[in-house]
Chains A and B, each alone.
Chain A
Amino acid sequence: MLTLIVLICCALVGVALLLNLYRLIQGPSVLDRILALDTMYINSIALIVLLGLFFGSPLYFEGALLIAMLGFVSTAALCKYLLRGDIIE
């Protein structure tokens, strides 16, 4: 029961990742691509959590935490670069 629901949720999140990939390839500006990359980070965290639920092991959450922190830092650095022309002034 829970295994089937986890597989269905994995399919939904996979479709969401494909839509983000479409926006990342066909974004009109560079900001659309940055936003699509940030959303892909969030959906990848969801996929890792679903993988941990599928296998029943709590070992995957450190990877999820690492991906969350790196996604925020990379998006903030790219926005800072686009705003100022420099990351650390």
Chain B
Amino acid sequence: MHPAIEWTVVVLLLIGSVFLLVGSVGLARLPDFFTRLHAPTKASTLGIGGVLIASCLYFSIEQDGLSVKELVITLFLFITAPITAHMLAKAALHQDSPPLERTRNSDLMTPAKDRESP
């Protein structure tokens, strides 16, 4: 294997793994559900994209022909992660999950039965 390709694979793997770790640290440490929601849905998706693209490059060089399965997994995850995040945020608003106190415009999060009629 050419050394440049191997270095590219190594750099992509390290970047992806560090992004996965950063997303999980954000999931474990942030104080609120909505802040905890945005940590894995961005950082972990980017990390898994890096790892899968590194694997696709390695197997495309190692064997003859382009390996498409990793690209399929990457595309599927990049499409479905925002849908999952949207559904989770909607369910959190539905369940009156408590936001942080310094959240701006948090009066918009009150349910409709508690608001004043216009």
Q: Enumerate chain A interface residues (CB-CB to B < 8 A).
A: 1-2, 5-6, 8-9, 12-13, 15-17, 19-20, 22-23, 28-29, 31-32, 34-36, 38-39, 42-43, 45-46, 49-50, 52-53, 56, 58, 61-62, 64-65, 68-69, 72, 75-76, 79-80, 82-83
Q: Which residues of A contact B23 (CB under 8 A)?
A: 16, 39
B88 at the interface (CB under 8 A from A): yes
Minimum distance in angstroms from B22 CB to a CB of chain A: 9
Which B residues are CB-close (under 8 A) to A23? 27-28, 36
CB-CB under 8 A from A39, the residues of chain B are 23-24, 27, 40, 44
CB <8 Å contact, A42 and B77: yes
Please report whether the interface of chain A is mostly helix, strand, loop or mixed according to DSSP: helix
What distance in Å separates the Cβ of A4 from its nearest Cβ neighbour in chain B? 9
Instruction: Decide if the interface of chain B is mainly helix, strand, loop or mixed.
Output: helix
* Nearest chain B CB to A41 CB, angstrom units: 10
A15 vs chain B, min Cβ distance (A)? 6
A-B contact count (CB 8 A): 143
Interface of B toward A, CB cutoff 8 Å: 6, 9-10, 13-14, 16-18, 20-21, 23-25, 27-28, 33, 36-37, 40, 44-45, 47-48, 51-52, 54-55, 58-59, 62-63, 67, 69-70, 72-73, 76-77, 80, 83-84, 87-88, 90-92, 94-95, 97
- Whose C-beta in chain A lies nearest to the C-beta of B69? A61
Query: B40 touching A49 by the CB < 8 A rule?
Result: no
Identify which of A9, A42, A56 contacts B40 (C-beta below 8 A): A42
